[in-house]
């Protein structure tokens, strides 16, 4: 039996954070399915899932619908490239198309943190280079790992989140325990 991950800096080498988003189709259902697919993938053990938030789109075309956003904390012995491949496979299974940068999508899975691993390549940047600049990312991250220390910035997630400006209505919590299997009418 594995012991639970303590998400403080001492256990950073195993903590993995994934951002989950959607703004096309049945957003909540696709996100629930993604959490299940990640858990079933063997690439990581899911420990916590954040609340579900609705947010306005950032960047990309002006005519996009609102996003649902969340984050999950897991633990993994896989490296960032292996986890990214798994996340891309899950996105593809949900008809994710990469045609317009920051465009609408059925499912968006971003690898934010992969332990203390630092990768900068054309295909992958970990830690995610803009995560600490986006409230729609940091608020859900703080739901699951507020005390986790960013591997390159050396500050906790809650410290980074508290520095971000708050715009009225930029982020609205729409569900607490949304990731459990539910019918479509249970969650936005």
User: Which residues are annotated as catalytic?
Assistant: 96, 105, 108, 110
Would you call the peptide bond into 127 cis, given omega within 30 degrees of 0 as the criterion? yes
Provide the β-strand partners of residue 55. 67, 171
Contact 137, 67 (CB under 8 A): no
Give φ, ψ of 3 to 5 degrees: -80, 150
Contact 146, 26 (CB under 8 A): no
Q: Which helix (H) or strand (E) holds 1?
A: none
């Amino acid at each position: 039996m594995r012991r639970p991950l303590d998400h403080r800096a001492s256990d950073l080498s195993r903590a993995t954070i994934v951002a989950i988003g959607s703004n096309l189709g049945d957003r909540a259902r696709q996100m629930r399915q993604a959490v299940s697919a990640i858990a079933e993938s063997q690439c990581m053990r899911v420990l916590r899932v954040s609340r579900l938030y609705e947010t306005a789109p950032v960047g990309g075309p002006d005519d996009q619908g609102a996003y649902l956003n969340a984050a999950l904390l897991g633990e993994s012995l896989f490296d960032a490239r292996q986890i990214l491949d798994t996340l891309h496979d899950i996105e593809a299974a949900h008809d994710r198309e990469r045609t317009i940068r920051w465009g609408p999508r059925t499912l968006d899975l971003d690898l934010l943190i992969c332990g203390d691993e630092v990768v900068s390549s054309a295909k992958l940047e970990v830690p995610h280079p803009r995560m600490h600049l986006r409230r729609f990312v940091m608020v859900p991250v703080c739901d699951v790992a507020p005390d986790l220390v960013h591997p390159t910035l050396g500050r906790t997630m809650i410290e980074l989140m508290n520095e971000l400006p708050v715009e009225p209505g930029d982020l609205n919590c729409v569900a607490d325990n949304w990731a459990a299997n539910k019918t479509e009418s249970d969650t936005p």
